[in-house]
Amino acid sequence: MLIDGCKKNDRKAQEQLYRAFHGSMAAICMRYTKHQPDAMSVLNQGFLKIFLKISQYDKVRGTLSTWMRNIMVHESIDFLRKQSGFNSRHGILISEESPIESDALQKINADALLALIRLLPAATQLVFNLYTVEGFGHREIGDMLKISEATSRWHLSEARKQLKKSLMVLEK
């Protein structure tokens, strides 16, 4: 079995695991970083952590891909924290939700939407991804990023506002 091979530090098993999950894990890293080289750095660091901690994986608690995804998300958060421009404490005001019209989202392709998300400030982008893509709640996000729930909500609202504004510019 692949997991057993990885637990024994079998390089072929590790390579098979890497090849099997490279694409899906790279996509996660790309959502959180602004540049592909950064995403690949996070991806490789995440796989290193996966190989070092594979003995901690418990299939009873969840699937291997979910366990790996959590490692990649946390590696991405760690990477962003190390960036000089990352300030998760920015803004604590709660503003009205600014929903993005679904018509606008249907007119834009995934690559263009990802490009718009990457233009968001680092902390706002991180909260947006954790909430909308990964499905974490504001309390969980607050705990992960060491911010208040209100700050998490502010970042989500700010992301929605900025994305809505960008989508309106693209529609013209």
Query: What is the pLDDT, as a whole number, of residue 172?
Result: 63
CA distance readout (Å), 3 to 9, 51, 71: 10, 10, 16
Q: What is the pLDDT of residue 81?
A: 82
pLDDT score of 22 more than 90: yes
Domain boundaries 2-82, CATH class: mainly alpha
* Mean pLDDT to the nearest integer, 17-42: 92
Q: Domain boundaries in the chain? A: 2-82, 102-171
* Architecture of the domain spanning 102-171: Orthogonal Bundle (1.10)
The reported pTM is 0.70
Identify the pLDDT of residue 54: 94
- The model's confidence at residue 5, banded by pLDDT at 50, 70 and 90, is very high
* Contact yes or no for 152/131 (Cβ under 8 A): yes
Determine the Cα–Cα distance for residues 8 and 54; give it in Å rounded to an integer.
10
Q: Per residue in 68-93, pLDDT tens? A: 999 999 999 889 888 755 554 443 33
Nearest Cα to 156, choosing from 114, 127, 126? Answer: 127
